[in-house]
Amino acid sequence: MTEQAKYNQILQELKDQESSIQALALVDEKGKLYASNLPEDIDVDAVSSVPYFAFSMFEKELSKFHSSHLKQIKIQGKEEYILLCSIKKNFLLAIWVATKEKTPQLQQNVASAISKILGA
């Protein structure tokens, strides 16, 4: 099994575990889309570039507020939120969730997925 297939499988498992997860994308530090589980009508190139830019921007700006090493960003909407998780500064896991609140179970599932990605 290739590396990309492994990542895709991990993302698929995470999506199966959490029905509220709408889409997943694993992006590397250069903005390349390594693996994804996206709906058909979504622009793949935009998904690969924008979250990475957003994360980089936040990380850069945070350094001015005496904070470093951004771990996670949660962009909260009215009925949904986007979670951008840093994976050892090499990868960025973008998760689109269609619920208001982040549950510990989701957090643990995401954490386990991240550990799997690191181990893959």
Partner 1 sequence: MFRKKEKKLVLLVDNFDQARDITKTYLETSDYKVIAVSNAIDAMAQLEKKLPNLIISEIELPGQGSISFYNQLKTQKKTRFIPFIFYARKDNERLEEGVKKFQDIVISKNLKWKEVSEIIETFLAKRAVLKAKSFRVSKQKASRPQGVQSRPQEMQPRRPMQPSQNVQSPTLKQQEVTRQTAKQGTISQETISKVASSQVKTQDKVASSQVKTQDMVKPLAQTQKNVMPRHLPKQQVATKQIVKKQVEQTEAELEKTVYEPKEIVLHAPLPSTRRKKRKIHMEFPIEPGESTRGFLIPPSNLEAELRNDFHFSNFLHKKYDVLTFEPLVIPNTGLREKIRFEIESEESLSDHDFILDLEEDTDVFVQEEKKSEQDESKKSHYLDDIEDILVSLDDEREDAQKAIEIPEDEQKIADDETLDEEADDETSDEEADVETLDEEADDETSDEEAEDETSDEEADVETSDEEADIETSDEEADDETLDEEADIETSDEEADDETLDEEADIETLDEEAEDETSDEEADIETSDEEAEDETLDEEAEDETLDEEATDKEETVVKSKEEIATEKVEAEIATEKTAEKETAAKEAKEETATEKVEKETATEKVEKETVTEKVEKETVTEKTAGKETAAKEAKEETAEKMVVEKVQAGATSVASIPKISSHSIAMEEEEDLLKTKLIYYNKEEDQWIQEMDHSFQKQEFAIWGYSAFSMASLCFKIMKMNHVVKNIKLETLENQIVLTKIDEKHIYSASVVPNEL
Site residues for partner 1 per CB under 8 A: 22-23, 41-43, 46-47, 50-51, 53-54, 56-58, 60-62, 64-80, 82, 96, 101, 103-105, 107-108, 111-112, 114-115
Sheet holding 21-28, edge to edge: 33-37, 21-28, 91-97, 81-87
Q: Are 55 and 86 in contact (CB under 8 A)?
A: yes
Q: How far is the CB of 38 from partner 1 (least distance, A)?
A: 9
Of the pair 2, 69, the CB lying nearest partner 1 is at 69
**11 SS3 class:** helix
Residue 74 corresponds to which tokens in the numbers above? 């949660």
Of the pair 16, 61, the CB lying nearest partner 1 is at 61
Q: How far is the CB of 2 from partner 1 (least distance, A)?
A: 25
